[in-house]
């Protein structure tokens, strides 16, 4: 079983729709959760992080965490073609910095006109 | 202008050669990391360093070496012992504090073995 699992996609959504990206993890001790966006040929950029159960909103992005079910999701509202990218989920059992993250293999999102 | 720089952007290596990838940050971050990404794959941790003059092996350290002599710099050497070094190499950095472990990435170095 992979430590962090994501559906590779591609996930196709029409422009203006809500895109829902999901991530499950195997380590029940995971404490910190991150979503990165990676455009083709580029390095990952941090979109959001979440530590507590529930929702965290930042602009068009909402991260949702459910530790009991061991999943974290990312919702993108009003999807734009510029959101087309691969989204990487990362987790760590640590709350402090300087520690390793475990990444999923990413979900490719395509926003269609 | 704060950030993480990596050089070179593209690197070509002959089999049997060692090469060194540069990573520099001016974010005053304590921790630095090296990841490798293969096509269609997630990121795999090679080495990380939480403080100057100290570093730990990640999941795929064999065939790689690092040093951390300065807070700003964390160079990675890909040795001839690395069997399949062609990949996209990413350097990252983060603070060391509670609830502050977000990692930020440099632009990457794409290494190709000829």
Residue B105: strand pairing partners:
B92
Residue A89: which of A76, A107, A77 has the closest Cα? A107
Q: How far is B98 from chain A (nearest CA, A)?
A: 4
Tell me which of A13-22, A64-73, A102-111, B96-105 is least confident. Answer: B96-105
Tell me which of A10-14, A68-72, B11-15 is least confident. Answer: B11-15
Model confidence pLDDT, tens digit, residues A24-53: 999 888 888 999 999 999 999 999 999 999
| Tokens representing residue A85 in the block | 């990218």
Answer for the pair A38, A85: CB distance below 8 angstroms, yes or no. yes
pLDDT at res. A1? 64
Residues 6+ apart with CB under 8 A from A75: A18, A19, A20, A21, A61, A62, A63, A64
Q: Does A63 lie at the interface with B, CB-CB under 8 angstroms?
A: no
Model confidence pLDDT, tens digit, residues B52-79: 999 999 999 999 999 999 999 999 999 9
Q: Is B100's pLDDT higher than 70? A: no
Q: How far is B68 from chain A (nearest CA, A)?
A: 14
pLDDT at res. A92? 87
Q: Do B98 and A45 touch (CB under 8 A)?
A: no
Selected residues 29-48 of chain B with any CB under 8 Å from a CB in chain A: 30-31, 33, 35, 40-45, 48
């Amino acid at each position: 079983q992979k430590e962090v699992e994501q559906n590779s996609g591609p996930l196709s959504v029409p422009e203006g729709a809500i895109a829902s990206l999901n991530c499950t993890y195997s380590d029940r001790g995971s404490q910190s959760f991150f979503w990165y966006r990676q455009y083709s040929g580029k390095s990952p950029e941090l979109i959001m992080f979440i530590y507590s159960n529930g929702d965290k909103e930042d602009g068009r992005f909402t991260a949702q965490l459910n530790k009991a079910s061991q999943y974290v999701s990312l919702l993108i509202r009003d999807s734009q073609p510029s959101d087309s990218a691969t989204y990487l989920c990362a987790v760590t059992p640590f709350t402090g910095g300087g520690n390793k993250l475990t990444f999923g293999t990413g979900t490719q999102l395509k926003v269609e006109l | 202008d704060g950030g993480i720089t990596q050089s070179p952007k593209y690197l070509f290596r002959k089999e049997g050669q060692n090469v060194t990838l540069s990573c520099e940050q001016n974010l005053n971050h304590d921790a630095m990391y090296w990841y490798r990404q293969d096509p269609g794959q997630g990121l795999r941790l090679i080495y990380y360093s939480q403080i100057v003059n100290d570093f730990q092996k990640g999941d795929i350290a064999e065939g790689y070496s690092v040093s951390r002599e300065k807070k700003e710099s964390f160079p990675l050497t890909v040795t001839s012992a690395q069997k399949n070094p062609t990949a996209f190499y990413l350097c990252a950095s983060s603070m060391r504090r509670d609830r502050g472990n977000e990692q930020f990435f440099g632009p990457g170095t794409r290494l190709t073995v000829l």
